[in-house]
């Protein structure tokens, strides 16, 4: 027997991906008139509003509706922080949602990485950001992108050049074609570590 919710979601995604996001919005809105508590359909509507129609306020409204009845809905919380994390005026609310998500998803390296970036860029809490990168790497130490992101924090904000070098080297070791990490490591060795070597040779 066909699942009406699944069919509505499939139709809407096809509409959005084929260049008709307004049609997708209409399709899901019509479905929700008869089944307003279907969180899966409402979540897809929020995603289409945010990603395709750039109506982030509308997306937030639908995500809030989901979280009012399902406060631990992980997918809705993740979608909400994805929108809120770039808005400095919402940083306290975003931080609260991130904290709740880290409790709900303690083994999600992507989440820890995203929270670390938010703590660095929006909260300017470099110590907490470093702690979150450490958590992310304890979950998945083979993530070259997290090693690279952590190295940027260590270089720009914590000024720990030895650790910067270690994480850049690890990023390149894990993925040799990570050109960003490779170039950053080359610059680091030519400038900071070459200067240290030159100074020590003059002693």
What residue ranges do the domains of the chain occupy? 1-84
> Residue 200: is its pLDDT beyond 90?
no
Measure Cα distances from 158 to 31, 168, 196 in Å: 51, 15, 18
Q: What is the pLDDT of residues 143-157, one digit of tens each?
A: 999 999 999 999 999
37 exposure class (CB count in 10 Å sphere: 0-12, 13-18, 19+): exposed
At residue 1 the predicted structure's pLDDT band, cuts being 50, 70 and 90, is low
Q: What is the pLDDT of residues 97-134, one digit of tens each?
A: 999 999 999 999 999 999 999 999 999 999 999 999 99
The fold of the 1-84 domain, in CATH, is 1.25.40
Q: What span, in angstroms and rounded, lies between the C-alpha atoms of 45 and 13?
A: 9
Q: What span, in angstroms and rounded, lies between the C-alpha atoms of 32 and 101?
A: 27
Mean pLDDT calculated for residue range 55-61 = 97
Mean pLDDT calculated for residue range 46-52 = 97
Q: At what angle do helices 126-139 and 109-121 cross, to 10 degrees?
A: 170
78 exposure class (CB count in 10 Å sphere: 0-12, 13-18, 19+): buried
At residue 196 the predicted structure's pLDDT band, cuts being 50, 70 and 90, is low
CB 91 within 8 A of CB 125: no
CB 137 within 8 A of CB 130: no
> Residue 30: is its pLDDT beyond 80?
yes
Q: Which residue has better confidence, 191 or 95?
A: 95
Q: What span, in angstroms and rounded, lies between the C-alpha atoms of 154 and 161?
A: 7
At residue 191 the predicted structure's pLDDT band, cuts being 50, 70 and 90, is confident
The mean pLDDT value of the chain amounts to 94
Q: Which residue has the tokens 């931080």?
A: 95
């Amino acid at each position: 027997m066909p699942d009406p919710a699944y069919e509505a979601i499939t139709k809407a995604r096809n509409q959005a991906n084929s260049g008709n996001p307004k049609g997708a919005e209409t399709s899901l809105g019509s479905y929700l008139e008869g089944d307003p508590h279907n969180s899966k359909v409402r979540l897809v509507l929020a995603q289409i509003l945010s990603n395709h129609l750039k109506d982030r306020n509308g997306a937030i409204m639908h995500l809030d509706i989901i979280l009012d009845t399902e406060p631990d809905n992980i997918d809705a919380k993740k979608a909400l922080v994805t929108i809120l994390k770039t808005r400095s005026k919402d940083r306290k609310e975003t931080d609260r949602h991130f904290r709740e998500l880290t409790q709900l998803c303690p083994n999600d390296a992507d989440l820890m990485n995203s929270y670390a970036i938010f703590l660095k860029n929006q909260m300017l809490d470099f110590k907490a950001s470093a702690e979150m990168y450490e958590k992310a790497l304890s979950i998945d130490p083979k993530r070259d992108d997290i090693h690279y992101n952590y190295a940027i924090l260590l270089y720009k904000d914590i000024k720990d050049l030895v650790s910067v070098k270690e994480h850049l080297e690890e990023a390149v070791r894990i993925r040799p074609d990570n050109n960003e990490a490779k170039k950053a490591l080359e610059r680091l060795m030519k400038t900071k570590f070459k200067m240290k070597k030159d100074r020590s040779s003059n002693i």
